[in-house]
A and B are shown apart, each in its own frame.
Chain A
Amino acid sequence: MKKNLIWIGAGVLGLALVVLLAASIAGEEPIDSSVGFGEVTVEGNALPTIDNPNAGDPTVGLVAPTLSGADWNGTPVSIAPDGRSKIVVLLAHWCPHCQAEVPVILDWAASGGLPADVDLYGVTVLTTPSRVEFPPQDWLEGEGWDFPTIMDNEAGDAALAYGLSGTPYYLVLDGENRNLGRFAGEIGIAGLNTLAQIAQAGLSTSPAP
């Protein structure tokens, strides 16, 4: 009986030590869950979600909605029919494939892969404060991301507008905001080159990356 009490006492003491250690490691600095989200305005009809856009996107040619918002510094960003072709990439901070793809995109752009007549935009989506790498701007800035980026709102309006089906998620738009193709997943340098070709070619039947 006495032996059992000693074991129980030791267990309680050990648990208390773990609690104290956890409290000291976790820290007490407050986390503002709102910093990962922005205000988003969607004008126009959303592109429908399809299961596997890489197998062919039936919405090619449809005009994507105009997306307006801001980055984490409050700088306004708009993905609109401004006469320039665009590659838009939707990224989730907790997604391991996005974490792998962002450095590839940056290397590709830094090495001249992004044509001068094509713009690249980012959109942070599916932001979840309780998941890893929150807020997304800390992760992206840490990677050196400096492309115009819109932070999606808590309702996920940007993700819905573009018919997100997986992350990372790419859209290629022409100067009139017409959809030239959507692609989900890591596509690497070769895929990014293909997206750039699609953006430059306009409405075409270029193969998926």
Chain B
Amino acid sequence: MSLEAIRFYNTFLALLTVFALGLALGLVVYRVVRGPEAASRWGNQALWLAWLVALVATSGSLVYSEVIHYVPCRLCWFQRIAMYPMSVVLLVGAVRKDLAARFYALPLALIGLLISIWHYTIQVFPSLEGGSCDPLNPCSARYVEVLGFVSIPFMAGAGFTLIAVLLLFYVRATRT
């Protein structure tokens, strides 16, 4: 992939990231204002949307590693471990209209979000990781920086946030 194409790809994902965070915030506000009625309108559409987010995040990270050849760092792998299964679990849940899928996906989204927050924090404060960069793959180094603040863990964190908001507030299910 050419450098120009990589630059476009980074910017595209960064804009999706900002949109995802804005959407997550809007959904939280809407849910607070409208109460449970807000969720009842969605049916299992929220599951489909959560799956779409997981799918974009999964395929986006695979493009970074398999096409652009960024080697995932240790914390990137932990976030992948949380994100990738959701792209399968949420699809199965959406196809089967099984809203209980939230109980399987939500812990992954929340754990992934915590790891993303920590990863982004050490990118902002590299001294938390140590004093030097591993020449192969330091977690504190930024492969991507768009708009001055969007890096890969920031993108992942936005994805986890939107999925968590959808599953928490818009997928209504009861234990069977």
Q: What is A's interface to B at a CB cutoff of 8 Å?
A: 18-19, 21-23, 25-28, 30-31, 33, 92, 94-98, 100, 125-126, 129-132, 159, 164-169, 184-187
Contact = CB atoms under 8 A, between A and B. Distances in A.
Contact of B133 (A23, A25, A95): A95
Contacts of A21: 15
Given A130-B6, A186-B131, 11 more contacts: A18-B12, A21-B15, A26-B8, A33-B3, A94-B141, A95-B138, A97-B140, A98-B133, A130-B70, A166-B135, A167-B135
Contacts of A130: 3, 6, 68, 70, 143
A100 B128 CA distance: 13
B11 A25 contact: yes
B74 interface: no
Nearest to B151: A132
B8 A168 contact: no
B92 interface: no
Contacts of A166: 132-135
- What are the 8 tightest A-B residue pairs by CB atom distance, in nearest-first order? A185-B132, A185-B131, A166-B132, A96-B126, A22-B12, A95-B133, A31-B3, A26-B11
A97 B159 CA distance: 28
11 contacts: A18-B16, A21-B15, A25-B146, A26-B8, A30-B4, A33-B3, A97-B133, A159-B135, A166-B135, A184-B132, A186-B132
A131 B123 CA distance: 14
Contact of A92 (B15, B135, B143): B135
A122 to B, nearest CB: 16
Given A18-B15, A28-B4, A96 B140 contact: yes
Interface string B1-28: 0011011101110111001000000000
Interface in B46-77: 68, 70
Contact of B123 (A96, A186, A187): A96
A4 B7 CA distance: 33
A100 B126 contact: yes
B126 A31 contact: no
Given A26-B7, A94-B141, A131-B143, A164 B135 contact: yes
B149 to A, nearest CB: 12
Contacts of A164: 135
A132 B140 CA distance: 12
Contacts of A92: 133, 135
A162 to B, nearest CB: 12
A97 B12 CA distance: 28
A23 B8 contact: yes
Contacts of A169: 132
Nearest to A187: B131
A94 B142 contact: yes
A95 B129 CA distance: 12
A27 B4 CA distance: 8
B106 interface: no
